[in-house]
A = this chain, B = another copy of it.
Amino acid sequence: MFKSTIGPSAAAPVYLRPETAQGQFLDFKKLLDYNQGSMPFASASIGKCYRNEISPRTGLLRVREFLLAEIEHYVDPEKKQHPRFPEVRDIVLPLLDKETQLSGKTVPQTISIGQAVESRIIDNETLGYFLGRIVLFLVRLGVDRSKVRFRQHLANEMAHYACDCWDAELLTSYGWVECVGCADRSAYDLTVHSRYTGASLTVKEALPEPVKVEEWQAALDKKLTGLRFKKDAKVVQAAVERLDQPALEALAAELEQHGAVALETPALADGTTRVELPKELLSISKTTRMQTTREYTPNVIEPSFGIGRILYCLLEQVYWHRPNDAARAVLSLPLSVAPNKVLIVPLSSNPQLNPIAHALSARLRRLGIANVIDASSASIGRRYARNDELGTPLGVTVDFDTLKDGSVTLRERDSMVQVRGSEDEVVMAIKGLVEGTETWEQVTARMEIFGGQGEDQ
């Protein structure tokens, strides 16, 4: 980790966070409150994380500062079903599970998430649900579905806290790159935070029916304990309270048999760490009580997205060039990801075209559609080509017919097909494409295909 110091003195060390997860666990109690104590619920965080890698390598894949997006989904360990599981049940994933890897194979089995959970290849429904959501997310970003696989961690590489863990890996020129992790971290984090802070990080749930509970209970005679141990009385009391059920049961038998028990304690005033408690001071008995609530530490399912890695792999996967022309590169970013959705090009430097381009730009901006005008003196083919390489999905040309009848052309980056229509028609088509309510196929089916100046050839 990166270490620094905080405040005026060098005595207070601080570390840059290596993941966002722990900050979320610290908020668990508050988040549970906000959720009215009901389960399951999730928190999410996105932000820079820092790891002082000794030797950063493989280009941009192993870096010291990176953007991490993590979801912590808290779930009852006895109810790892997920209500929206049916939405992902039939998604078929290439799973490189533990057994396949241990048998020395590298070919994943393709199997539906439903089958994988049923056969316990994936540990539980909630974990399966998130694997499904991860692949849907990646494909929506533009990732090539045939270049995604899910690899299960082997027992010897899995973090000590995880009970199952899968990595979504994307295929690049570096090979398969781990981009999203999805771990069932069990109750590990909350348990450890609770142990070190003393704060209770559990969920209390009303039981449908009260349950009769038999348990051993220990009681110290306060007065006699005070007389006997003086200042150490509190330490002894605390040591008794920490005893669990098996310990109490054993001590009860010993007390019965010998009339006294020996008990380990933290260091007392005289330095000893052991006291003898006779039955005049200590009584242990079996009691019965009605339990109306159930208390448990939630398990955490954690999908963890390395945003930089995903973007790097995406850029590699969507970069290609036109057939027979290695110089004409195209970056096929989908509309949802491309920083600029629309390129606006005035056909020539004719001063009448520029105001139309700027008015159209302002109109798209008001609709929240990011766009850029390229009014440079390069040829229109050159301007399209360089914006293809920048990944701008749509292009609008303002030309001399625009001056006559107000019509403009709309061009799709990957196919280079153009349609022509009134500015209103084209703006509506762009809006539909950006919002995902219409496909390019639908646009070309209902609008006039434009043969035009053939500037793309």
CB contact under 8 A between A6 and B36, given known A47-B48, A48-B48: no
B52 touches A7 (CB 8 A): yes
**A376 interface residue (CB < 8 Å to B):** yes
Nearest CB to that of A84 among chain B residues?
B362
Per the bound structure, the CA–CA distance linking A67 and B124 in Å amounts to: 38
List B contacts of A52 (CB < 8 A): 6-7
B376 touches A8 (CB 8 A): no
Closest CB of chain B to A218's CB: distance in Å?
37
List B contacts of A378 (CB < 8 A): 36
List B contacts of A64 (CB < 8 A): 6
Nearest CB to that of A15 among chain B residues?
B4
Closest CB of chain B to A373's CB: distance in Å?
11
Among B7, B8, B16, point to the contact of A4 (Cβ < 8 A): B16
Copies assembled: 2
Number of residues on chain A facing chain B (CB within 8 A): 19
**A54 interface residue (CB < 8 Å to B):** yes
A residues 269-315 touching B (CB-CB < 8 Å)? none
**A2 interface residue (CB < 8 Å to B):** yes
Closest CB of chain B to A419's CB: distance in Å?
26
A residues 39-95 touching B (CB-CB < 8 Å)? 47-48, 52, 54, 64
Per the bound structure, the CA–CA distance linking A3 and B4 in Å amounts to: 6
Interface flags for A368-393 (1: CB within 8 Å of B; 0: not) read 00000010101000000000000000
Closest CB of chain B to A83's CB: distance in Å?
8
**A38 interface residue (CB < 8 Å to B):** yes
B38 touches A7 (CB 8 A): no
Closest CB of chain B to A384's CB: distance in Å?
14
Closest CB of chain B to A432's CB: distance in Å?
15
List B contacts of A48 (CB < 8 A): 47-48
Closest CB of chain B to A335's CB: distance in Å?
15
Interface flags for A11-36 (1: CB within 8 Å of B; 0: not) read 00010100000000000000000001
- Lowest 8 CB-CB distances: which A-B pairs, in order? A2-B4, A4-B4, A36-B376, A8-B54, A3-B4, A6-B52, A48-B48, A7-B54
- Can you spell out 20 A-B residue pairs with CB atoms less than 8 angstroms apart? A2-B4, A2-B5, A2-B6, A2-B14, A3-B4, A3-B5, A4-B4, A4-B16, A6-B52, A6-B64, A7-B52, A7-B54, A8-B54, A16-B16, A36-B374, A36-B376, A36-B378, A38-B376, A47-B48, A48-B48
